[in-house]
């Protein structure tokens, strides 16, 4: 499958990969890594204005995540990852691909941000599961407009959620015990695969310039650590993604009508 790369430019080493679950400060960390000088830091929020980039994320899920019903079994190699993320020196917001990324980029330093499970689960349910699965705007965008105009934002996003939780249907994401098991399984897997000297495991409340720069061997910047309102940022991005698909769908639906109207108007003007 062909897809649009996340960023254009030469391949760069993957120096840092953040594998904390969604809702563990990934947006703040993305900004922090950018301030520290890492180029083209990956975060899915950067794709909000370009739906074509989500095709690559969906293709990566189909190739690497066995629990998905669309699994192809063609696991991505380093070459495949670089075709999509080549210029990115750091990756965040990409926890569903922990195993293949750790296998293909064993030299990368790994950041593993965690938080209290109950606090995390409430945040995950309120900002990802409920708004994405129950809102009318989300339903209209994902089930009507996106298939109509041929884009895959919602489909790719749902694949990521299911991959992260190890489930084959979104109904199971509402089960708190499934969330707990997936959360524990993910963190245990990353800990078991990464040597201690390449792993920074840290609570979200303790994340700041000190431990981050010490781990990465960077000087502490002369600016405050970016602490974004992650819930607000995510909800705004989700709303923007839905409106992009609705707007594109409306334009596609209206195009034939506008075209016919223009032809009729031209004929009328020529007739007279």
Cα three-residue angle 265-269-272, rounded to 5 degrees: 140
The tally of CA atoms less than 13 A away on the side-chain side of residue 11 is 8
Higher pLDDT among residues 169 and 235, named by residue: 169
Strand ranges in the chain using DSSP code E only, listed in sequence order: 16-18, 90-91, 109-114, 199-203
Radius of gyration of the chain (CA): 21
pLDDT mean across residues, the chain? 80
Query: What pTM, to 2 d.p., does this model score?
Result: 0.79
Residue 154 has φ and ψ, to the nearest 5°, of -65, -40
What pLDDT score was predicted for residue 131? 46
Closest CA to 241 of 163, 117, 151: 151
The tally of CA atoms less than 13 A away on the side-chain side of residue 121 is 16
**Is the torsion defined by CA of 80, 86, 89, 95 positive or negative?**
negative
**CATH number of the domain at 16-253, please?**
3.40.50.300
What pLDDT score was predicted for residue 258? 47
DSSP string, 21-81: PTTSSHHHHHHHHHHTT-SS-B-GGGGTT-TTHHHHHHHHHHHH-TTSTT-------HHHH
Q: Which of 132-141, 146-155, 192-201 has the lowest mean pLDDT?
A: 132-141
Q: Which of 63-67, 154-158, 188-192, 242-246 has the lowest mean pLDDT?
A: 242-246
């Amino acid at each position: 499958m062909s897809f649009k790369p996340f960023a254009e430019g030469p391949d760069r080493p993957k120096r840092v990969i953040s594998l904390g679950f969604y809702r563990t400060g990934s947006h703040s960390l993305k900004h922090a890594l950018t301030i520290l000088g890492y180029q083209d830091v990956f975060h899915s929020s950067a794709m909000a204005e370009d739906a074509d980039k989500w095709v690559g994320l969906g293709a990566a899920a189909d190739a690497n995540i066995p629990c998905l019903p669309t699994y192809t079994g063609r696991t991505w190699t380093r070459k495949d990852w670089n075709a999509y993320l080549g210029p990115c020196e750091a990756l965040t917001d990409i926890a569903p691909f922990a195993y293949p990324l750790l296998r293909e980029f064993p030299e990368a330093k790994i950041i593993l941000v965690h938080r209290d499970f109950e606090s995390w689960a409430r945040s995950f349910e309120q900002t990802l599961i409920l708004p994405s699965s129950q809102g009318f705007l989300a339903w209209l965008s994902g089930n009507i407009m996106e298939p109509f105009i041929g884009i895959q934002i919602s489909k790719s996003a749902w694949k990521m959620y299911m991959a992260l939780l190890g489930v084959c249907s979104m109904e199971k994401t509402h089960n708190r015990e499934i969330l707990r098991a997936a959360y524990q399984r993910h963190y245990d897997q990353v800990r078991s695969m990464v040597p201690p000297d390449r792993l920074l495991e840290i609570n979200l409340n303790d994340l700041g310039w000190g431990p981050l720069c010490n781990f990465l061997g960077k000087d502490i910047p002369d600016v405050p650590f970016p602490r974004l309102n992650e819930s607000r940022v995510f909800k705004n991005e989700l709303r923007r993604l839905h409106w992009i698909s609705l707007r594109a769908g409306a334009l596609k639906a209206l195009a034939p009508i506008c075209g016919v109207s223009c032809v009729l108007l031209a004929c009328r003007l020529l007739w007279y």
